[in-house]
A and B are shown apart, each in its own frame.
Chain A
Amino acid sequence: MNLFQSVTSALDNTLASDPTAVIFGEDVAFGGVFRCTVGLRDKYGKDRVFNTPLCEQGIVGFGIGVAVTGATAIAEIQFADYIFPAFDQIVNEAAKYRYRSGNLFDCGKLTIRAPWGCVGHGSLYHSQSPEAFFAHCPGIKVVIPRGPVQAKGLLLSCIADMNPCIFFEPKILYRAAVDQVPVEAYTIPLSQADVLQEGSDVTLVAWGTQVHVMREVATMAQEKLGVSCEVIDLQTILPWDIDTVCKSVAKTGRLLISHEAPVTGGFASEISSTVQEECFLNLEAPIRRVCGYDTPFPHIFEPFYIPDKWKCFEAIKRMINY
């Protein structure tokens, strides 16, 4: 399966096993603009897979309401770039529902899925990576998979989790990445980073598409510099797996974090300062962040904007020679 098919498979498993589950958003009925919901309406009925009016604040507010009754609500926001009209419903409402009511009410059965990340030509509003805006919001979980196997397992965990979750799907991988994905349901735990490759000289942390960049960089560093990199896919942005990252840095003594989103206020800042607090005595070089620049995401300049393997490679070279 490719990534969009693994998402469909996760949604299919959910609708089959949970009669309360509903899927809704803009254009999901005919299969979705990225084909993630193809066939589900025919299989499960139009009261379970349906289009909403074009209004993101309504979609999330509606989803919260469904979840408040205890039913499973899977909302789709067409692009992560258009999640901001629902920011109030997510930050002030979904995230705080359980806390403010003393656990009388909650919207834990809500999952919001949204295509995410750069796509080569998406420009300002089809390329954004807004995870750091949400990382500052206690009460929600934010999850990003790197491939089809992770997408299905992590999405099923989000849907089953008793907290409102935002699941960002790297849209450049919808058709690109292909894995052997189990047809039946399985879960991958949230708040657990995945160590893809063990190493001893530098820790590389990323999520989503950028994990693949990091793997390539690790190979380059080994071949060209003889440097052994440990590659970690963070997978869950909030609440994130501090232990796995710190354990790795305590061993390697160096840390490079990379994300597509702009550097200032990006989630790498949070990782960096936490690791610095926890691993001060182990660090042999300043922690490096290789991220998007502090500009809107540009159209024709995308190749110069993204934190590609050459930018990451150069950062490793400097850390080793520090």
Chain B
Amino acid sequence: MDRQGNIINPSQDPQLPKETVLNYYQKMTLLNTMDRILYESQRQGRISFYMTNYGEEGTHIGSASALDPNDLVFGQYREAGVLMYRGFPLDLFMAQCYANADDLGKGRQMPVHYGCKDLNFVTISSPLATQIPQAVGAAYAFKRQNMNRAVICYFGEGAASEGDAHAGFNFSATLECPLIFFCRNNGYAISTPTNEQYRGDGIAARGPGYGMLSIRVDGNDVFAVYNATKEARRRAVAENQPFLIEAMTYRIGHHSTSDDSSAYRSVDEVNYWDKQDHPISRLRHYMTARGWWSEDDERSWRKQSRKTVMEAFEKAEKRLKPNPELLFTDVYDEMIPTLNKQKESMWRHVQQYKEHYPVDLYEK
């Protein structure tokens, strides 16, 4: 569709039912609302770190909706919308960011490093591109299981410069793995623009060099993303071969809460994408034209989504942190003797100097 939400070529229209499209819109805007509240909470020092998804909501929802729920997701860190689409509760997003006792990750990782076994979303880690060859291994194992499962692996255009991206692309092709590589090309890796990242024709142009089917899509068009992912998934599973999708988009927000992007790009540039070409407003045009969404719907949904996010937020903030003992578990599957000794030593010490440690904030 174009920027006004008009379908350009009817033969390419996925003709998704109203409920599906409304769900897309609500998931994208709910993510946007959560982003705004958590971004502010970081500014106020209530959580230590945050990364927003502004401008890339369409890539998450469009691709996630084209997958089977059993497909395994490996991500980078700016794909919270995939989890949102799969039904990850707001409480658990918040629990992870607050590292409270409800966090499935037991409070060990920085905020936005989500993971969910039940929703087949592999826990995020900070080292860039490491998930790319891992996703290939998982896809290879799925192929052997013959269970009609695919793997999708997200990464940014900056991460695509890592050696692990090269490893993953090449392994997936030579070992014939049912896998979709999904590159979010948003123009920047922190402050580095793409002309300092690569000199070829983006990331998609690298695919054929590895013998990989590749396509570039408008990442701000949720239907284009959906169509490409749907077909890539179909062929990846049917033919046991990898597929590369490069979604062109724009990182509207700062790289993270530790970054001020006005130091390296103009406000005009950001405003253009935010106001003229945004995946959320584009889908809203589409819905409005069909009479599926009104100003009233918008107002009440905004209010309702803000309320649910705030409720989860307040609940997460009040919750205690996990028991400090969890610092020592899961290093290995079983507690090893040296770690057990270190744990006991920590408790003895904290007992002796408890006024110097924030013990009251943690579960006992």
Interface residues of A (CB under 8 A from B): 20, 22, 47, 50, 52-53, 55, 57-58, 60-71, 73, 85, 88-89, 92-93, 96-106, 108, 138-139, 141, 162-163, 191, 239, 242-243
Contact = CB atoms under 8 A, between A and B. Distances in A.
Contacts of A20: 141, 144
A102 B108 contact: yes
A70 B105 CA distance: 19
Given A66-B140, A100-B109, A102-B105, A108 B333 contact: yes
27 contacts: A50-B175, A53-B167, A53-B171, A53-B174, A55-B171, A58-B166, A62-B175, A64-B134, A64-B137, A65-B136, A69-B72, A69-B142, A69-B145, A88-B130, A98-B330, A99-B330, A100-B113, A101-B105, A102-B104, A102-B106, A104-B104, A104-B117, A138-B331, A141-B332, A162-B333, A163-B332, A239-B338
Contacts of B175: 50, 52, 62
B103 interface: yes
Given A65-B135, A108-B333, A139-B332, A57 B163 contact: yes
A90 to B, nearest CB: 11
Given A61-B132, A62-B171, 7 more contacts: A53-B170, A55-B170, A61-B130, A61-B136, A99-B330, A102-B103, A163-B332
Interface stretch (B121-129, B218-226, B353-361): B121-129
Nearest to B109: A100
A99 B171 contact: no
Contacts of B139: 65
B138 A69 contact: yes
B125 A58 contact: no
A101 B123 contact: yes
B133 A57 contact: yes
Contacts of A108: 333
Contacts of A101: 104-105, 115, 122-123
| Chain B: number of interface residues, binned into ranges | 35 or more
A88 B115 CA distance: 21
B156 interface: no
A62 B123 contact: no
Contact of B105 (A52, A104, A106): A104
